[in-house]
Amino acid sequence: MVAGLTGKVAMVTGAGQGLGEATARRLAAEGATVAVVDLDGGLAEGVARSIQGEGRQAFAVKADVTDRAAVRAMVEEVGRRAGAPDILVNNAGGFPKVKMLLEIEEDEWDAILALNLKSVYLCSRAALPGMIARRRGRIINLASAAARSLTNFSATHYAAAKAGILGFTRHLAYEVGQHGITVNAVAPGTTLTPRVQRARTPEDQARIASLIPLGRMGLPEDTAGAVAFLASDDAAYITGATLDVNGGKVMM
């Protein structure tokens, strides 16, 4: 267990599956009331009901985190249902498939940057006024090992967006520290989410695992634990940092 999450309101984007789902479950298990946010309302509802079935507090919110009006409505809904968020986990993101730059058209570039980076700006901007008013808050941004080093080839638009998150995290941490708000990032390595299991063959997975000092690929729960720590009182004096969760594949 980590300290200080009981009674807090947490908003986790992209929480319908994968890292976001694991994070929502972990924060709820630690005593937070969790807004399970996803573009797929059915997935969000399923996760929220499952958390409720375990005796924890959660509810679903359907939202497009690349749309400013939708994000504003999302934060307002969370406020009505549970109170202004104390914890924001900017998890929504991803990319459809590995591509070379010359295969990426401009509309796809814009879409991936919007999903992975603009969403972080929009959600942070919407949640910050309530945090500033209460002089407390935790913002945790999901980056990627792809932003830290070329470990497993992904795609340039995804890597660029995730690298942008690291710069955004540091600058926002400096900006809002005076208000008692911390801003940190978590950079997972390749993690065995449902999407990765579909995209990577068993041979790919074995090859990736063989290159990791701890000898295995990450699990969603590994990242969820890091997020829970950064959201907790135990991390009250940590801000502007990036926590690498990659089994030692990237050491910085």
Task: Encode pLDDT of 98-156 as tens digits.
Answer: 788 898 899 999 999 999 999 999 999 999 999 999 999 999 999 999 898 876 667 88
70 belongs to a structural domain = yes
State the catalytic residues: 158
251 belongs to a structural domain = no
3 belongs to a structural domain = no
Q: What is the mean pLDDT of the chain?
A: 94
How many C-beta atoms surround the C-beta of residue 175 within 10 A?
Answer: 12
DSSP 89: E
**Strands of the chain, DSSP E:** 9-12, 33-38, 58-62, 87-90, 137-142, 181-188, 242-245
Helix, strand, or coil (residue 66)? coil
- pTM equals 0.94
The pLDDT score that the predictor gives to residue 152 is 60
2 belongs to a structural domain = no
123 belongs to a structural domain = yes
Element (H, E) at 102: none
Q: Is the pLDDT of residue 173 over 90?
A: yes
The pLDDT score that the predictor gives to residue 153 is 64
Structure tokens at 54: 């375990």
Of the CA atoms within 13 Å of residue 128, those in its CB half-sphere come to 17
252 belongs to a structural domain = no
Calculated CA dihedral for residues 189, 95, 47, 79, nearest 10 degrees: 100
Helix, strand, or coil (residue 191)? strand
For 54, the domain range is 9-244
Structure tokens at 25: 């479950």
28 belongs to a structural domain = yes
Contact call for residues 154 and 101 (beta carbons, < 8 A): no
Contact call for residues 244 and 145 (beta carbons, < 8 A): yes
Q: Model confidence over 53-106: pLDDT tens digits?
A: 999 999 999 999 999 999 999 999 999 999 999 999 999 998 767 788 898 899
Give the count of domains, the chain.
1
The enclosing domain of 91 has a CATH number of 3.40.50.720
87 belongs to a structural domain = yes
The pLDDT score that the predictor gives to residue 94 is 86
- In angstroms, the CA 185 to CA 188 distance is 10
